[in-house]
Structure 1
Amino acid sequence: MAMNNDQLHRYITQQMRMSHVYQPVMLRELLRSGGEVSVEQIAKALLSHDRSQVEYYEIRTKNMVGKVLTNNGVVVPVKDGNRIIGFRLNDFVDVDAEDRDRLIAECDEKIADYIELRGSNIWQHRSNAKGYVPGSIRYEVLKRAKYRCELCGASAEEVALHVDHIVPRNRGGQDDLSNFQALCITCNTNKRDLDDADFRGVAETYGDRETGCIFCGIPADRVIAENELCYAIRDGFPVTPLHTLVIPKRHVADYFDLFQPELNAFRRMLDDLRSSIQDEDQTVTGFNVGVNAGQSAGQTIFHCHVHLIPRRHEDVPNPRGGVRGVIPEKQSY
C-alpha cells in the first residue's frame, strides 16, 4: 500500500516504535536520495551512528597506527594531560594545493594496492574469532552475562558486546559455551592487543589426571551427567536424598584454581542438575551449594568438587543459617 507524505509524517512522529536508531536513519537516507537508496548506503549511514565502531578504531589508532607513525617521526601525539586526544604531522609546513593533492593521491594508491594484494583478509581483525559464531550461541552467552561485559561490567545499552573466546581458537580453545564470554568492544580489543598471557598449554591441561585420585578414576556407571569440562555423581555419603557432586574432569585441588571455562561449565551443570532434581522429586524446595576448599575447611578429597544438596520443607527442625552451620554454634543468629 502506497504511503503519502502525510501518512509518512504520522508514522515517523506518532506510530514509529523504536528499539534502535535503525528506522529513522534508513528513512532519512531514503528521503535524502529521492526515495530509493542502496543497502550499502543505508549500512554506511547506520555505521556513522555506531559509537562502538568509533571506539574500536580509536583504540587501534592510539595503540597501533599512531605508535608506528610516532616512532617513525611522522606524527606527534596531541595530549590532554596524559590522554592522547589527537595527532599532528611532525613539523608540517603549509604546502600548496598541488603538493597536497599529490601526497593524498599517493596515500590512495597505497590503499588500493594493499586491498588488491590482500583482499578482504585485511579486515579479519574485526572478527570476534576465526569462523562464525551462531546467533543462538551469542544469545546464550549474552543472556548468561546479563547483557553486561564480564570484565568491566558495561551494559549492552552503553556499548557493543562481543562474544569472545576465553582461550583463543588458535591456542586450542573450543567452540563451546564454557569457552565464551561477553566482552565490550574496548575490553575485547584490549585483551587481544595487550594481554600477553601464554595460552598455548592451557588446552592440554584440561586433560590432567592423577593416578590414585578417586575422582580422576570414577567408574563411568556412577556418572549421571557430564559436559566437556565437568561431570556429576551422587554423593556416596549423602546428606539428603539426591545429594550430588559436580567435579571438574581436570585434576585440580582447589575451587579457586579453576579456569573460567570450568567455572562456566560448573554453573551450567548446576543449573541443569537443579532442574532435573526438582523434576524427579517434587518435595525439593531449596538447595545448599557448597565447596570445601582446604583441609581447615573440611576438604578430605583433594580434587575440587561442589556439593549440591537438595533441601525439603522441615527436613530439619530449624534450617535458619544454612551453610553457617559449618560452625555449629554460629548457625543460628
Structure 2
Amino acid sequence: MKYQQLKDFIISKMKMQHIYQPVMIKTLLENEGLASVRKIAEAFLEKDQSQIEYYEQITRSMPGKVLQKHGIVDYADKAFVLNVSDLTSEQRSELIELCNQKIKEYENKRGKLVWKHRARDSREVPGSLRYQVLSKAKFRCELCGIAADEKALDVDHIVPVNKGGKTVIENLQALCYTCNSQKRDLDDTDFRPWKDMYRNIDPQCVFCKIQSKSYESNELAFVLEDKYPVTKHHTLILPKRHVRSFFELSSSEQKACLLLLESIKEKISKKDSSINGFNIGINDGHDAGQTIFHCHIHLIPRRKGDVPNPKGGIRHVIPEKGFYK
C-alpha cells in the first residue's frame, strides 16, 4: 500500500463506529509502522482511562480486523504492522494529522457519549471480571446476540446494585448498549439463558443432522454444498439454529449468514474463473417452494451460456413472468 491509498482511506473510506481506527493508524505511524497490541491499547487508554486488557481485546477484535480486511495492517507476533511503504516524514505527519482530525470530529459529534458505556462499566466491574463475563458470552450480547465488533458490550448486573445485586460473575451478563439501555435499573431479568436459543436444533431436521459436514462456519451460521446442485459450486448458507424462515432470524444471525455468503462468493469466484454472476435466493414457505423447513440461502453460480437467455433471472420462479420488456 502506498501513501495516497492510506490517505484516501482515512479521508473517504474510513467508516467509524468509534475513534478506534484513526487512533490505531496514528499510533502505528508514530511508531515507524510497528506497534504491539499493548502499545495500541495504551493509545486508547489516553482517551479512556480503563483496564488495559479490555483494550487489547478491542484492538484485536474491532479495528484490527477492520483494518486487516482493508489491507491497511497485518498482524503477527502479537503486533500490528502498517502496510504502507516509503513514507516521508512529511507524509507521515500529514497522515497523523488526518487521524487527529477524524478523532476530533467524532468526539465533537458524540461528546461525552463516546465513552459513556465504558465509564459506567469500569466504575462497577473490575477489568478482569469484565473480561471473564464477555469471554463466557463469546463477546456477544446475551439478549440479541450481536457481536462486540458490531456494537459495544456492557457488563450488566442482573440484580441491579440498587436492589442489592453484587458484583460477582453469577450476577453479571453481557448486553449490548442498546439492550442494556432498554433494561431498567429495577429489572432483574437474567438474559443469559437466551443465548441457548442459538444452539436450538431439531434432531429430525436434515440440515441440523449434517451441520458437522460444513466446510466453513462462524458462530451463528454454516455452509453446505447443495446435494442437488443447479450449477457447479451451488452452495447453501444456513443458520445453526433450527428456524424455518429468514424473517425469524435475529439481526445477528442474518448478519452471520450474509458474512458467509460474501466469503463463499469470493472463494468460489477465485476457484472458478468461468463464473460470471450469481443467483442468490431463499425459498421461504411452502408456497414459495421450501421443502426443508430450516432456513437456507442458495448461492448459485452462473456462467455464460448456461441457459439460452438468462434475462429475468429469479423472476422465472413464475415462468410466464420471467421475461419482461
TM-score, normalised via structure 2 length: 0.51
Is 2:174 the counterpart of 1:206?
A: no
Distance 1:206 1:190, change over 3 A: closer
Secondary structure, in 3 states, of the residue corresponding to 1:233?
strand
Distance 1:171 1:272, change over 3 A: closer
CA contact (8 A) 1:162 1:182 kept: no
Counterpart of 1:232 (choices 214, 217, 223) is 223
Residue 250 of structure 1 corresponds to 241
Secondary structure, in 3 states, of the residue corresponding to 2:206?
coil
- Residue identity opposite 1:307 in structure 2: H
Secondary structure, in 3 states, of the residue corresponding to 2:215?
strand
CA contact (8 A) 2:151 2:177 kept: no
How far apart, CA to CA, are the structure 1 residues paired with 2:59 and 2:311? 43
In the TM superposition, residue 265 of structure 1 has moved relative to its aligned partner by: 1.4
Residue 314 of structure 2 corresponds to 323
CA contact (8 A) 2:107 2:114 kept: no
Is 2:292 the counterpart of 1:309?
A: no
Distance 1:285 1:230, change over 3 A: same
Residue 135 of structure 1 corresponds to 59
Residue 175 of structure 1 corresponds to 139
CA contact (8 A) 2:283 2:289 kept: yes
CA contact (8 A) 1:288 1:323 kept: yes
Q: Deviations over 1:16-41 (max 9, x none)?
A: xx979x9xxxxxxxxxxxxxxxxxxx
Distance 1:219 1:132, change over 3 A: closer
How far apart, CA to CA, are the structure 2 residues paired with 1:170 and 1:159? 28
In the TM superposition, residue 332 of structure 1 has moved relative to its aligned partner by: 1.3
Spell out the pairing of 1:9-28 with structure 2 (5 A cutoff).
none
Uncovered stretches (5+) of structure 1, i.e. residues with no partner: 1-17, 23-42, 48-52, 54-119, 145-154
Distance 1:255 1:281, change over 3 A: same
How far apart, CA to CA, are the structure 2 residues paired with 1:288 and 1:162? 41
Distance 1:226 1:316, change over 3 A: same
- Residue identity opposite 1:284 in structure 2: I
CA contact (8 A) 1:234 1:245 kept: yes
Spell out the pairing of 1:124-203 with structure 2 (5 A cutoff).
132-139=56-63, 140=65, 159-160=109-110, 173-175=137-139, 179-180=147-148, 182=150, 191-195=179-183, 199-203=191-195
Secondary structure, in 3 states, of the residue corresponding to 1:271?
helix
CA contact (8 A) 2:226 2:234 kept: yes
TM-score, normalised via structure 1 length: 0.49
CA contact (8 A) 1:180 1:261 kept: no
CA contact (8 A) 1:178 1:265 kept: no
- Residue identity opposite 1:210 in structure 2: D
Distance 1:210 1:320, change over 3 A: same
Secondary structure, in 3 states, of the residue corresponding to 1:134?
helix
- Residue identity opposite 1:244 in structure 2: T
Residue 258 of structure 2 corresponds to 267
CA contact (8 A) 1:141 1:180 kept: no
What value does the CA root-mean-square deviation take over the aligned residues?
A: 4.2
How far apart, CA to CA, are the structure 2 residues paired with 1:141 and 1:162? 19
In the TM superposition, residue 193 of structure 1 has moved relative to its aligned partner by: 2.4
In the TM superposition, residue 313 of structure 1 has moved relative to its aligned partner by: 1.6
CA contact (8 A) 1:255 1:293 kept: yes
Uncovered stretches (5+) of structure 2, i.e. residues with no partner: 1-9, 12-18, 23-42, 70-104, 118-130, 153-175
- Residue identity opposite 1:207 in structure 2: R
- Residue identity opposite 1:266 in structure 2: C
- Residue identity opposite 2:318 in structure 1: I
CA contact (8 A) 1:173 1:179 kept: no
In the TM superposition, residue 253 of structure 1 has moved relative to its aligned partner by: 1.2
Distance 1:306 1:299, change over 3 A: same
Distance 1:192 1:240, change over 3 A: same
How far apart, CA to CA, are the structure 1 residues paired with 2:270 and 2:236? 18
Q: Deviations over 1:181-229 (max 9, x none)?
A: 6459xxx766432346863222111211112110111173x42212222
Spell out the pairing of 1:276-291 with structure 2 (5 A cutoff).
276-291=267-282
Residue 105 of structure 1 corresponds to none
Counterpart of 2:283 (choices 259, 284, 292) is 292
In the TM superposition, residue 242 of structure 1 has moved relative to its aligned partner by: 0.6
Number of equivalent positions: 201
Q: Percent identity?
A: 35
Larger RCO (alpha carbons 8 Å, 6+ apart): 2
